[in-house]
């Protein structure tokens, strides 16, 4: 492991970001505004982070020699995407401090390991079983009942790698789709169905000194398993919000996170708060912090991984964020020189546009987002959804 870095990493230093997506791009923009240089490490050259970074290293995430070369001259590395081979984080950590540490990534990038962590540490989550065979899936269904959700243990996000089971005659097909693999059975997790009232998330930062600064919980609505609209305040009773925030803080402490992480929760109809997933990075639901809070989640990530004091998470106004997926583009899209009507969207007062620099709009692909600030959260949600409809998606 690289020697522990205890002194603050000050502006003028060079920060590394593992992954080249939009979260890396927004981290880089925040870091450069604060006077840092930023270098991204990606397996593709055409990535959003390339637009905002001083340098882009392109190579194989499993190539230790490439990673070692990329780490030369970096003062600290963080990551923006958890579906990265753990060997990449460990190879970098041998050369330069990596925050959060690679073992946080190891725990949270696999649903089986993540659920085991939650159970071991006493955090309430959905009933579940790890599944490694068709017979194991049948036994898990018998134990948990139906409906239930079958998920791949690794490499699943935005609804990818999961199937809802409602009847026993769906079991074989679900295993064939998710579990069967040319190189051998793939590990799955079956989760009992939660009849939840809503979903919320807490984005929080934890500094090198262990101090934690949570943002206010966000209320999240989804469409096709992809976050659609996030809004704050979450319009839930204070005890629910306080329990979610306290749980998120305990999780970050138990994992030893240095950086930013997001904990997603189900809120049941009787007010129980159950952990759904942990993302050891900045999060889609936290994008509204850019316009709405004293410190954005991305500046907070810079502060945390550099050992600087964390910023204020005070929210200056109610806000809502709406994702812009490739579906917003006309069917012929950019091939015919056609874009959504951004002028119409930006005609809605209080609305801000963020585009990620991705060249190919595809259905379900996150191309950008809109944020609206307003006097009330209901007004913010109405504004941001109206602006998106004017742009091209009703």
Q: Write out pLDDT tens, residues 137-161.
A: 999 999 999 999 999 988 766 567 8
CA 19 – CA 43 distance, rounded (Å): 8
Confidence check: pLDDT of 334 > 70: no
CA 256 – CA 329 distance, rounded (Å): 41
User: Position of tokens 């305990």?
Assistant: 250
Residues 6+ apart with CB under 8 A from 320: 229, 230, 231, 232, 288, 371, 372, 374, 377, 380, 381, 383, 384, 385
How confident is the model over 112-127, as pLDDT tens digits? Answer: 999 999 999 999 999 9
What confidence score (pLDDT) does residue 158 get?
Answer: 59
Confidence check: pLDDT of 292 > 60: yes
Residue of 34, 53, 9 lying closest to 298 (CA atoms): 34
Instruction: Return the higher-pLDDT residue of 117 and 7.
Output: 117
Confidence check: pLDDT of 4 > 80: no
What confidence score (pLDDT) does residue 392 get?
Answer: 85
Written as six digits, the tokens of 280 are 């050891």
What confidence score (pLDDT) does residue 181 get?
Answer: 73
Q: What is the mean pLDDT of the chain?
A: 94
- The domain at 14-98 falls in which architecture? 3-Layer(aba) Sandwich (3.40)
Residue of 92, 366, 90 lying closest to 227 (CA atoms): 366
The β-bridge relationship of strands 76-79 and 273-279 is: unpaired
The dihedral sign for the CA sequence 270, 273, 275, 280: positive
Instruction: Return the higher-pLDDT residue of 294 and 224.
Output: 294
Q: Regarding the domain with residue range 196-391, which homologous superfamily does it belong to in the CATH classification?
A: ATP-grasp fold, B domain (3.30.470.20)
What confidence score (pLDDT) does residue 42 get?
Answer: 97
Confidence check: pLDDT of 186 > 50: yes
Tell whether pTM > 0.75. yes
- Sort 149 into a burial class: Cβ within 10 Å, 0-12 / 13-18 / 19+: middle
Residues 6+ apart with CB under 8 A from 290: 26, 296, 297, 298, 352, 354, 371
As a whole number, mean pLDDT of residues 99-104 equals: 97
Confidence of residue 332 (pLDDT cuts 50, 70, 90): low
Confidence check: pLDDT of 65 > 60: yes
Confidence of residue 194 (pLDDT cuts 50, 70, 90): very high
Confidence check: pLDDT of 2 > 70: no
Alpha helices in 313-376 (DSSP H): 342-346
φ, ψ dihedrals at 50, nearest 5°: -60, -30
377, 361 contact by CB (below 8 A): no
Q: What crossing angle do the helices spanning 297-305 and 22-33 adopt, rounded to 10°? A: 70
CA 243 – CA 249 distance, rounded (Å): 10
User: Position of tokens 């194989």?
Assistant: 60
Confidence check: pLDDT of 274 > 90: yes
As a whole number, mean pLDDT of residues 94-107 equals: 96
Lowest-pLDDT choice from 29-43, 171-185, 199-213, 237-251: 171-185
Written as six digits, the tokens of 169 are 């005659």
The β-bridge relationship of strands 14-18 and 37-42 is: parallel
As a whole number, mean pLDDT of residues 267-274 equals: 96
What confidence score (pLDDT) does residue 337 get?
Answer: 61
Q: Regarding the domain with residue range 127-192, which homologous superfamily does it belong to in the CATH classification?
A: ATP-grasp fold, A domain (3.30.1490.20)
13, 73 contact by CB (below 8 A): no
Instruction: Return the higher-pLDDT residue of 159 and 18.
Output: 18
What confidence score (pLDDT) does residue 149 get?
Answer: 95
Confidence of residue 394 (pLDDT cuts 50, 70, 90): very low
Confidence check: pLDDT of 179 > 80: yes
% pLDDT > 90, the chain: 88
Lowest-pLDDT choice from 213-217, 231-235, 366-370, 390-394: 390-394
As a whole number, mean pLDDT of residues 15-38 equals: 98
As a whole number, mean pLDDT of residues 375-393 equals: 95
Residue of 200, 164, 377, 165 lying closest to 272 (CA atoms): 200
CA 130 – CA 152 distance, rounded (Å): 10
Confidence of residue 295 (pLDDT cuts 50, 70, 90): very high
Q: Provide the residue ranges of all domains of the chain, joining segments of one domain with +.
A: 14-98, 127-192, 196-391
Please, what's the largest Cα pairwise distance for the chain?
Answer: 60
What confidence score (pLDDT) does residue 393 get?
Answer: 57
57, 67 contact by CB (below 8 A): no
CA 37 – CA 199 distance, rounded (Å): 37
How confident is the model over 304-315, as pLDDT tens digits? Answer: 999 999 999 999
SS3 127: coil
What confidence score (pLDDT) does residue 320 get?
Answer: 98
């Amino acid at each position: 492991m690289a020697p522990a870095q205890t002194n603050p990493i000050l502006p003028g230093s060079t920060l590394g970001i593992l992954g080249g997506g939009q979260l890396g791009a927004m981290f880089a923009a925040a870091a450069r505004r604060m006077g840092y240089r930023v270098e991204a490490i990606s397996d593709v050259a055409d990535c959003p982070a390339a637009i905002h970074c001083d340098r882009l290293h392109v190579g194989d995430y499993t190539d230790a020699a490439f990673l070692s070369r990329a780490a030369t001259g970096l003062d600290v590395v963080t990551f923006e995407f958890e579906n990265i081979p753990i060997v990449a984080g460990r190879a970098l950590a041998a050369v330069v401090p990596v925050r959060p540490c690679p073992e946080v990534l190891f725990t949270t990038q696999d649903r089986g390991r993540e659920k085991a962590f939650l159970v071991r540490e006493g955090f309430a989550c959905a009933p579940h079983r790890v599944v490694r065979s068709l017979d194991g899936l049948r036994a898990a269904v018998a134990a948990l009942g139906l409906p239930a959700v079958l998920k791949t243990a690794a490499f699943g996000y935005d609804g990818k790698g999961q199937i809802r089971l409602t009847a026993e005659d769906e079991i074989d097909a679900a295993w064939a789709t998710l579990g069967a693999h040319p190189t051998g059975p793939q590990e799955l997790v079956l989760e009992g169905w939660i009849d939840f009232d809503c979903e919320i998330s807490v984005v929080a930062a934890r500094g090198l000194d262990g101090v934690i600064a949570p943002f206010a919980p966000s209320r999240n609505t989804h469409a096709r398993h992809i976050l659609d609209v996030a809004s704050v305040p979450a319009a839930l009773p204070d005890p629910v919000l306080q329990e979610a925030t306290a749980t998120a803080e305990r999780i970050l402490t138990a994992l030893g996170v240095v950086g930013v992480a997001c904990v997603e929760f189900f809120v049941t109809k009787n007010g129980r708060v159950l952990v759904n997933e942990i993302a050891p990075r900045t999060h889609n639901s936290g994008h509204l912090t850019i316009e709405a809070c004293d410190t954005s989640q991305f500046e907070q990530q810079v502060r945390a991984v550099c050992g600087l004091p964390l910023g204020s998470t005070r929210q200056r106004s109610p806000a809502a964020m709406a994702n812009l997926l490739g579906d917003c583009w006309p069917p012929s899209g950019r091939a015919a020189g056609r874009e959504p009507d951004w002028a119409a969207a930006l005609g809605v007062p209080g609305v801000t546009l963020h585009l990620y620099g991705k060249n190919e709009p595809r259905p379900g692909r996150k191309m950008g987002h809109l944020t609206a600030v307003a006097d009330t959260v209901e007004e913010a949600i109405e504004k941001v959804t109206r602006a998106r409809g004017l742009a091209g998606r009703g």
